[in-house]
């Protein structure tokens, strides 16, 4: 009798093992797909905001709050996603954001990303020279007039650089010109590699649920150009 019971248990384990593994894989896949939807929702909201206002949204002080802003500058460069301002309510995971600083570029450049009329302060060429200065031959990465937000791919086993240091350290540089980054605050603290960072953020290839979404300067400039074309549509032919 005991042998028969043992055989039944072994048979159930053999049958249920792959099924449970499949269910776990499906749940993981479903979580990743939902996170991709959330990332897309945030990206579309930010790009729509730039098209409508000409500037990047500032971080919020309170979770799911409105952006914290004073005239032409953010009151803080790192904080919560301003869900109330971007109308991105309903996200199950809280997100934090960081905005690139142009402070070291000096006036009038320092608020060019945060003003509704950036080209009244700088021409596109001037702003491009400032943004791309850190990767020119004349400046080491992160030592130019703009220590832009750097996006990095995490390499397993390598220590993360200090969160106050520009650059990727021993990790792989993906983009040196991110100007706006949002990242999810996941429940697993080990996955929060981007928590409290503001000059460099990391993509973890083995943990897509914790990866950030970002707007590059190239994309920002394209949105500015598109916004200009929307403000000045070509004349209609009769």
- Start-end of H helices in the chain: 2-53, 83-86, 124-131, 217-231
pLDDT band at 110 (very low <50, low <70, confident <90, very high): confident
What's the rounded mean pLDDT across residues 181-192?
77
Poorest-pLDDT segment among 128-132, 166-170, 177-181, 231-235: 231-235
Contact at 8 Å (CB) between 174 and 153? Answer: yes
**Structural tokens at position 26:** 């499906």
- Report yes or no: 200 and 168 within 8 Å, Cβ to Cβ: yes
pLDDT band at 41 (very low <50, low <70, confident <90, very high): very high
Q: pLDDT of 127-147, one tens digit each? A: 777 777 666 656 666 666 676
Closest to 103 in 3D by CA, of 173, 193, 169, 198? 198
Higher pLDDT, 173 or 32: 173
Distance between CA atoms of residues 144 and 50, nearest Å? 26
Confidence of residue 190 (pLDDT cuts 50, 70, 90): low
CB under 8 Å to 39, separation ≥6 — which residues?
213
Question: Could you tell me how many residues make up the chain?
Answer: 238
Residues 143/160/193/97 CA torsion (nearest 10 deg) = 0
How does residue 217 score in pLDDT terms, banded at 50, 70 and 90? Answer: confident
Please state the separation of Cα 95 from the chain's center in Å.
9
Q: Supply the pLDDT for residue 23.
A: 45
pTM: 0.80
What are the tens digits of pLDDT across the range 79-89? Answer: 999 999 999 98
Whether residue 146 contacts residue 155, with contact meaning beta carbons closer than 8 Å, is answered with: no
């Amino acid at each position: 009798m005991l042998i028969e019971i043992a055989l039944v248990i072994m048979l159930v384990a053999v049958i249920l093992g792959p099924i449970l593994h499949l269910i776990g894989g499906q749940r993981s896949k479903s979580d990743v797909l939902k996170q991709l939807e959330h990332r897309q929702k945030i990206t579309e909201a930010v790009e729509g905001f730039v098209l409508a206002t000409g500037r990047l949204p500032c971080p919020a002080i309170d979770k799911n709050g409105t952006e914290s802003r004073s005239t032409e500058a953010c009151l803080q460069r790192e904080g919560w996603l301003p869900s109330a301002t971007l109308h991105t309510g309903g996200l199950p995971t809280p997100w934090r954001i960081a905005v690139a600083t142009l402070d070291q570029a000096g006036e009038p450049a320092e608020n060019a990303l945060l003003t509704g009329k950036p080209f009244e302060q700088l021409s596109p060429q001037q702003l491009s020279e400032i943004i791309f200065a850190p990767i020119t031959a004349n400046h080491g990465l992160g030592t130019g007039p703009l220590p832009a937000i750097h996006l990095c791919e995490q390499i397993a086993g390598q220590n993360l650089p200090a969160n106050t240091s520009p650059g990727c350290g021993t990790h792989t540089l993906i983009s040196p010109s991110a100007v706006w980054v949002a990242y999810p605050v996941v429940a697993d603290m080990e996955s929060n590699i981007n928590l409290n960072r503001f000059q460099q953020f990391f993509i973890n290839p083995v943990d897509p649920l914790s990866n950030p979404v970002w707007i590059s300067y190239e994309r920002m400039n394209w949105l500015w150009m598109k916004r200009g074309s929307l403000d000045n549509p070509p004349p209609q032919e009769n």
